[in-house]
Amino acid sequence: MARGERIQIAHPGWCKNCGICVSVCPTDILITGKKSVEILDLEKCIGCHNCELICPDFVLKVVANDEN
């Protein structure tokens, strides 16, 4: 886990709203939205990679802060 990294919804069109990422987020910043996952508060993201690693649909990606 590198500093200055946060989550990005890289491929929102691939999301199937299964909610797995929401359940593994330690800071509870993800919610299942109408069509795909949504970020509630990006500032609280600690870049732990939990959601990115478990996402079955390659939707999420942890990127450097300046890319977000």
Residues that bind other proteins (CB under 8 A): 11, 13-14, 16-20, 22-23, 52-58, 61
Output the six-digit token pair for 4: 């200055």
> Cβ distance 51 to 5 under 8 Å?
no
Amino acid at 1: M
> Nearer to other proteins by C-beta: 39 or 62?
62
Least distance to other proteins from the beta carbon of 51, Å?
10
> Nearer to other proteins by C-beta: 20 or 40?
20
- Alpha carbons 26 and 57: distance in angstroms, whole number: 20
Least distance to other proteins from the beta carbon of 33, Å?
14
Least distance to other proteins from the beta carbon of 60, Å?
10
Instruction: Report strand pairing: 60-64 vs 30-32.
Output: unpaired
